[in-house]
């Protein structure tokens, strides 16, 4: 097995600009990276890269790699779809080999053992080109026969993995766009109305001052003050809802962090026995469940003054159920949002977008049960 060059700083995946995107990309491509690492070890090659063809079919993006130098990921992150031997493999739809020192070969060779040849194999999914696998070979010797025989089957697996990664990234993007749309709706439905009210009262105030009607003017000033106070409270609650991010692939981890934060606020016992595995939910569904559960937990600790809280999450027969039960003084969900329960309106909207129901049930011995139930659609959900 080839040893890694001491002068080489290996990278396994291309890191997007944001830390959240980087974490998501790492999870999406982690199985592919492991597969490529085994391939490099078994084939005796220097390094391997996997590029995905973009939607325009004009550019190949580096999405995963094994044993490539760090500068390579920056300088060769994107190449034209017809570039060198990678482009030739996609055009000919077959295994291609080249000893020409293309930009990728030069970059890899400048940081360690020289690569004498590049072997490329096209990847496809349902007869649609989706990328290319490149192996950088240190000798002119042929690859082991068992590796060559394995390439077609490996290409099918990698093609399927790329397609799954593309679908998951689309789901993640859709979840982000849903959050932005929900935020825009909340700002429009709440703050815009408050600002309109302030503007109207200001006009009336100006008229009252001009006519020296001090009592009427004082009334308008009081109304403006109340409206601004309500708007300020709404801004705080909107910030609380949307500033907390979630890795859409790790719902249980995000809920655990939230529980740890709330435990630090005071003398409260929060019980949560999570399932063994991550629930089979789409990124969109996980984001909505996280925010609903987080708001219910926060209400129990901060507003209902609970001392014991229990969170339960289960999936049965295509339905997901989330329950938050507390022993607090209770929260009245029918109170208008102007009186500090604006977050409950957002919870109801999230439940509606899930196609489910959200119930607030007062318990006979005190406390409240918040229950969310919705049909699970999982990956591939259309929003």
pLDDT for res 358: 95
The structure's pTM equals 0.50
Q: How far is CA 281 from CA 143, 286, 378, in A?
A: 42, 6, 4
- Separation of alpha carbons 159 and 163, rounded Å: 6
Residues 117 and 259 in one domain: no
* Of 169, 194, 215, the domain-final residue: 169
In a domain, 94, yes or no: yes
Cβ atoms 350, 291 nearer than 8 A: yes
Longest dimension (CA), the chain: 98
In a domain, 1, yes or no: no
Return the half-sphere exposure (C-beta side, CA atoms, 13 A cut-off) of residue 379: 13
Tens-binned pLDDT, residue by residue, of the chain (383 aa): 233 333 344 544 444 433 444 445 456 677 888 888 888 888 888 889 999 998 888 999 998 888 887 777 778 889 999 999 999 999 998 989 888 888 788 877 777 777 888 999 999 998 889 999 999 988 877 788 888 888 889 899 898 888 888 887 777 777 677 777 777 766 765 677 678 778 888 989 999 999 999 999 999 999 899 888 878 877 776 776 565 555 545 889 889 988 988 887 778 899 998 888 888 888 788 888 998 998 899 888 888 889 999 999 999 888 999 999 999 887 666 654 433 455 787 888 889 989 999 999 999 888 999 999 999 986 444 33
Cβ atoms 304, 342 nearer than 8 A: no
pLDDT for res 9: 42
In a domain, 220, yes or no: no
Domain span at 64: 10-169
What count of other Cβ atoms lies within 10 Å of the Cβ of residue 334?
7
- Separation of alpha carbons 287 and 173, rounded Å: 12
| Neighbouring residues of 107: CB distance < 8 A, sequence distance ≥ 6 | 69, 71, 72, 75, 76
pLDDT for res 383: 39
In a domain, 227, yes or no: no
Residues 153 and 270 in one domain: no
Long-range pairs for 177-186 at CB < 8 Å and ≥24 separation? 177/383, 178/284, 178/287, 178/353, 178/383, 179/242, 179/287, 182/346, 182/349, 182/350, 182/353, 183/238, 183/242, 185/349, 186/238, 186/241, 186/346, 186/349
3-state secondary structure (DSSP) of residue 330:
coil
Cβ atoms 330, 367 nearer than 8 A: yes
| Neighbouring residues of 42: CB distance < 8 A, sequence distance ≥ 6 | 144, 147
Strand partners, 369: 325, 361
What are phi and psi for residue 8, nearest 5 degrees?
A: -100, 130
- Separation of alpha carbons 196 and 202, rounded Å: 10
Instruction: List the CATH number of the domain containing 337.
Output: 3.30.565.10
| 214 burial via Cβ count (<10 Å: 0-12, 13-18, 19+) | exposed
In a domain, 18, yes or no: yes
Buried b (16+ CB within 10 A) or exposed e, 273-306: ebeeeebebbbbbbbbbbbbbbbbbbbbbeebeb
In a domain, 111, yes or no: yes
Q: Count up the domains in the chain and report the number.
A: 2
Six token digits for residue 144: 């082991």
* Of 108, 137, 169, the domain-final residue: 169
Residues 150 and 38 in one domain: yes
3-state secondary structure (DSSP) of residue 233:
helix
* Of 147, 169, 191, the domain-final residue: 169
**Pick from 337, 296, 295: nearest CA to 194:** 337
Residues 163 and 255 in one domain: no
| Neighbouring residues of 268: CB distance < 8 A, sequence distance ≥ 6 | 262, 301, 306, 307, 308, 309
Instruction: List the CATH number of the domain containing 33.
Output: 3.30.450.40
∠ CA 247-251-253, rounded to 5°: 85
């Amino acid at each position: 097995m080839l040893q890694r060059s001491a002068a080489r700083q290996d990278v396994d995946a291309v890191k997007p600009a944001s830390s959240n995107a980087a974490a998501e990309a790492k999870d999406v491509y982690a199985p592919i990276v492991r597969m490529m690492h085994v391939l490099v070890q078994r084939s005796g090659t220097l390094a391997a890269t996997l590029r995905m063809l973009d939607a325009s079919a004009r550019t190949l993006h580096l999405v995963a790699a094994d044993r490539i130098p760090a500068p390579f990921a920056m300088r060769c992150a994107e190449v034209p779809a017809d570039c060198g031997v990678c482009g030739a493999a996609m055009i000919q739809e077959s295994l291609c080999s080249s000893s020409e020192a293309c930009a990728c070969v030069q970059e890899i060779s400048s940081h360690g053992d020289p690569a004498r040849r590049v072997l490329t194999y096209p990847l496809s999914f349902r007869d649609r080109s989706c990328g290319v696998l490149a192996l950088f070979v240190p000798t002119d010797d042929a690859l082991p026969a068992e590796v060559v025989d394995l390439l077609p089957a490996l290409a099918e697996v990698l093609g399927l993995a790329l397609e799954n990664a593309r679908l998951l990234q689309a789901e993640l993007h859709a979840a982000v766009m849903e959050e932005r749309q929900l935020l825009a709706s909340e700002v429009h439905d709440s703050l815009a109305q408050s600002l309109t009210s302030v503007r109207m009262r200001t006009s009336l105030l100006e008229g009252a001052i001009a006519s020296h009607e001090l009592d009427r003017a004082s009334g308008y000033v009081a109304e403006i003050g109340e409206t601004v106070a309500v708007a300020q409270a709404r801004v705080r609650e909107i910030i609380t809802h949307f500033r907390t991010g979630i890795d859409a692939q790790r719902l249980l981890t995000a809920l655990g962090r939230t529980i740890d934060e709330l435990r630090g606020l005071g003398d409260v016992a929060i019980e949560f026995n999570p399932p063994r595995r991550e629930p089979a939910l789409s990124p969109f569904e996980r984001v909505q469940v996280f925010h609903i559960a987080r708001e219910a937990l926060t209400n129990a600790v901060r507003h209902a003054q609970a001392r014991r809280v229990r969170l339960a999450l289960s999936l049965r027969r295509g339905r997901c159920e989330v329950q938050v039960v507390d022993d607090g003084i209770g929260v009245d969900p029918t109170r208008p949002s102007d009186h500090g329960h604006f977050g409950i309106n957002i919870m109801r909207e999230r439940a509606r977008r899930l196609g489910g129901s959200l119930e607030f049930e007062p318990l006979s011995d005190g406390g409240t049960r918040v229950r969310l139930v919705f049909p699970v659609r999982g990956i591939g959900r259309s929003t």
